[in-house]
Structures are given as structure tokens and as C-alpha cells.
Structure 1
């Protein structure tokens, strides 16, 4: 499962991460560098498992830890109403 943002959510990369704008509410959400890397992989259509492997390799961390972070990020984006279900 990849990540799809709602049509009224804009994602903009920044120098240190990514900002998501919910155009319905005007609220901004900021992702740090790692969160942005995860989100971009998922938005590009990469599945969670492959994303965990790629991000773990890039940041020299355990893929199990990245997998947990991916699940938490996807859950948070859904709960905030930013991700399409």
C-alpha cells in the first residue's frame, strides 16, 4: 500500500523536511527529514516494506524501526484527515 494524500492537501519539500497544507482547514503539518523521506517514497508509489529497506539503508538504521515509523506516520496522516483511505 502506497500513500495517497487527499486532493485538497499540498505537499511541499523544504530544506529540512516537508510541509503538508490542508487546504480545507488552512492547517500546516511539518515532517522532519526522515519523515519527509518516508512520505516521498510512499507518495512515489513505493510500498511500505521497500520504503523501510530504502530508508534504513540511507540512514543506517534498522529496517524494523523504520517500518514502525512508517506505520505511525501513515496512521497519523489518516487520523489528521490528510491521507486518502
Structure 2
């Protein structure tokens, strides 16, 4: 599955490693370090969730199937909040 992160959404990584996202409507969303890692990796992988999962799996030496559920849930949350759209 591919997701397109909204380019107009500013993302700021906080001092504690979390992330703050500002939607077009002005709503602020905060996430922890895991959310920041997934956001950044999805951006680097052009929204390809399989590739992002594999990169995170290799980086943190975690099982890809376990991570895939986390990446997918994060993407669903982004879509629900208008911060991303599903491409395919």
C-alpha cells in the first residue's frame, strides 16, 4: 500500500524525539518517537509502507510483520486526520 503524506503539513521533530504535525485546518497532532520514525521513514520511502517497514525493521532489528501492523495503523491514523491520502 502506498500513502501520500500531505506536502503542506509541517512536521517538527521535538527535542524529546517526538513529532508535531500541523494540519491544513490548523489542528495540531503530536506523536511520540515511534510516530516520528514512521513519518520520516514513510517520507524517505515515498509513502511505500512495505519499504518503510523493511527499513525500520533493519534499523531497529525488529520483526517486519510486527512492525507492519504499526506502520499500517499509523498510516490509517494519518489518513483519518487528513494528513495523508491512500494512493493504492
Which 5+ residue runs of structure 2 have no aligned equivalent?
none
How many equivalent residue pairs?
A: 83
Whose relative contact order is higher, 1 or 2, with alpha carbons under 8 Å and at least 6 apart?
A: 2
In 2, distance between residues paired with 1:10 and 1:81? 13
Which 5+ residue runs of structure 1 have no aligned equivalent?
none
| 1:40 corresponding residue in structure 2 | 40
In 1, distance between residues paired with 2:6 and 2:62? 27
How high is the TM-score relative to the length of structure 1?
0.81
How high is the TM-score relative to the length of structure 2?
0.78
In 2, distance between residues paired with 1:55 and 1:67? 10
Q: How far off is 1:75 after superposition? A: 0.5
| 1:74 corresponding residue in structure 2 | 75
